[in-house]
């Protein structure tokens, strides 16, 4: 026996691969559509940062430390308007509440009971943002449990580094993208999310939550701007869960 | 941003940016650490997170920023719908969906007489 707390891994020779191999596999997976999508978004942001008067180091510090585009855009506005520290922190915190339920939903998937340390999860959580999250929810369940955390860390680190560099280059070089390229890049993000999120939905409840969320998002955006995503998640997710429970009980 | 010390933006970035954002991720780790993957609570949390991300998607399509905001809404909806349909039709391959969506958007733009801007 190797170790006392080792649980029976769900078959497959992949289990014998060391963590660093899984981390490299994650890094390689990141440098494809996910990196392209985020690069497109951050190239757009680099233009905004430069117009706003942020320096290159400020722009890069925000990219690396915050790593969530909505929060970065809010903070850019706050810096530009000379907003105080506390109001700015509140505005940014409101823009990033969504990261909490997303992280909560990811954690049970990546941790190995009795083996994964909490600090490892705290580090991994920094990479939780919509793009990495949909990729992880879609692809991690197909991997052996021990592979998931190293894969996600490799994925997150690679995509963050890549986008960090691309943002710097864009800040220095890109005056303005050709309109047709800029427009195509903006559409890339929602279509990629749409397909990946559907692929990540295992249960009927998830698919239902996705459909209800798509419909509620714009409604809450118009009536409770600012907290709209939180309300979309709570109302849409709860409705989907309840419908799922009622129909399941009805059938059994 | 003229009369402030050079380091002030970095204090803002660390406190109002990094801490204000990552605290939600850390709270998610603490709250999610006790969740079991086979529990009912976990199913609900997944539903909430999924609906929330779906809300992000429909906002990006219906209320876009940048150059995409100048395209007609029906074209954006058509492109997203075509992309998703192609994704479902071809063995759920994300790349197929993305390419189909882009093809419809660019084709529509060209048919409408060029790209605005």
Which pLDDT tens digit goes with each residue over B69-116?
888 899 999 999 999 999 999 988 888 999 999 999 999 988 987 665
Quick: pLDDT tens for A44-66.
788 878 888 899 999 999 999 99
Q: Measured between CB atoms, does B91 come within 8 Å of chain A?
A: no
Select from B11, B24, B13, B27 the least CA-distant residue to A65.
B13
Task: Select from B28, B42, B54 the residue whose CB has the most chain A CBs within 10 Å, as the one to mutate to test that interface.
Answer: B54
Q: Measured between CB atoms, does B77 come within 8 Å of chain A?
A: no
Tell me how close the Cα of B93 comes to any Cα of chain A, in angstroms. Answer: 8
Q: Say if CB A5 and CB A114 are below 8 A apart.
A: yes
C-alpha–C-alpha distance, residues A159 and A155, integer Å: 6
Q: pTM higher than 0.95, yes or no?
A: no
Residues of B in contact with A130 (CB under 8 A): 53, 56
Q: Which of A39-48, A87-96, A158-167, A185-194 has the highest mean pLDDT?
A: A158-167
Q: Which sign does the torsion angle of CA A89, A92, A93, A94 carry?
A: positive
Q: Say if CB A244 and CB A204 are below 8 A apart.
A: yes
- Using only the alpha carbons of chain B, give its radius of gyration: 21
Q: What percent of chain A has pLDDT over 90?
A: 48
Q: Nearest-CA residue of chain B relative to A212?
A: B51
Q: Which residue has the tokens 């109302």?
A: A235
Residues of A in contact with B117 (CB under 8 A): 179
- What does the DSSP 8-state code read for residue A111? -
Tokens read off for A126: 């920094």
C-alpha–C-alpha distance, residues B75 and B95, integer Å: 20
What is the rounded average pLDDT of the residues B44-54? 92
Q: Residue B78: enclosing H or E segment and its boundaries?
A: helix B73-89
Query: What are the φ/ψ torsions at residue A192 (nearest 5 degrees)?
Result: -65, -45
Go through chain B and tell me how many residues it has: 117
Task: Select from A90, A101, A191, A236 the residue whose CB has the most chain B CBs within 10 Å, as the one to mutate to test that interface.
Answer: A191
Residues B78/A42/A105/A157 CA torsion (nearest 10 deg): 140
Q: Measured between CB atoms, does B8 come within 8 Å of chain A?
A: no
Q: What is the ipTM of this complex?
A: 0.86
A2 pLDDT above the threshold of 50: no
Residues of A in contact with B87 (CB under 8 A): 194-195, 198
CA angle A100, A141, A69 (to 5 degrees): 35
**Residue A178 exposure: Cα atoms within 13 Å on the Cβ side:** 5
Residues of B in contact with A237 (CB under 8 A): 44-52
Residues of A in contact with B68 (CB under 8 A): 182-183, 186-187
Domain boundaries, chain B: 65-117
Secondary structure percentages of chain A, helix, strand, coil, to 5: 80, 0, 20
Mark yes or no for CB contact B21/A203 under 8 Å.
no
Tell me how close the Cα of B8 comes to any Cα of chain A, in angstroms. Answer: 10
């Amino acid at each position: 026996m190797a170790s006392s707390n080792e649980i029976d891994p769900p078959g497959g020779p992949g289990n014998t691969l060391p963590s660093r191999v899984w981390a490299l596999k994650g890094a390689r997976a990141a440098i494809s559509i996910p990196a392209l999508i985020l690069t497109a978004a951050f190239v757009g942001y680099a233009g905004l940062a430069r117009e706003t008067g942020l320096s290159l180091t400020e722009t890069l510090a925000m990219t690396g430390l915050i790593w969530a585009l909505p929060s970065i855009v809010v903070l850019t506005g706050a810096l530009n308007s000379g907003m105080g520290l506390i109001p700015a922190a509140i505005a940014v915190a409101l823009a990033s509440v969504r990261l909490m339920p997303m992280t909560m939903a990811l954690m049970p998937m990546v941790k190995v009971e009795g083996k994964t340390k909490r600090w490892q999860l705290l580090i991994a959580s920094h990479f939780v943002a919509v793009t990495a999250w949909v990729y992880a929810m879609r692809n991690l369940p197909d991997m052996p449990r021990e592979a998931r955390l190293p894969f996600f860390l490799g994925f997150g680190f690679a995509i963050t580094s890549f986008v960090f560099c691309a943002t710097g280059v864009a800040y220095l070089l890109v005056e303005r993208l050709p309109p047709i390229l800029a427009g195509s890049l903006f559409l890339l993000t929602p279509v990629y999310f749409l397909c990946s999120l559907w692929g990540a939905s295992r249960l009927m409840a998830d698919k239902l939550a996705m459909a209800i969320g798509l419909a509620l998002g714009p409604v809450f955006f118009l009536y409770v701007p600012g907290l709209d995503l939180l309300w979309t998640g709570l109302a849409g997710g709860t409705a989907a869960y309840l419908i799922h429970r009622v129909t399941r009980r009805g059938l059994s | 941003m003229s009369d402030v010390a050079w380091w002030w933006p970095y204090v803002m970035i660390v406190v109002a940016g990094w801490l204000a954002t990552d605290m939600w991720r850390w709270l998610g780790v603490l709250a999610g650490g006790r969740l079991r993957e086979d529990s009912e609570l976990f199913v609900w949390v997944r539903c909430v997170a999924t609906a929330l991300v779906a809300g992000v998607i429909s906002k990006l399509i219906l209320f876009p920023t940048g150059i995409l905001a100048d395209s007609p809404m029906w074209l954006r909806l058509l492109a997203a719908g075509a992309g998703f349909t192609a994704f479902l039709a071809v063995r759920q391959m994300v790349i197929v969906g993305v390419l189909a969506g882009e093809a419809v958007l660019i084709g529509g733009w060209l048919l409408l007489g060029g790209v605005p801007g």
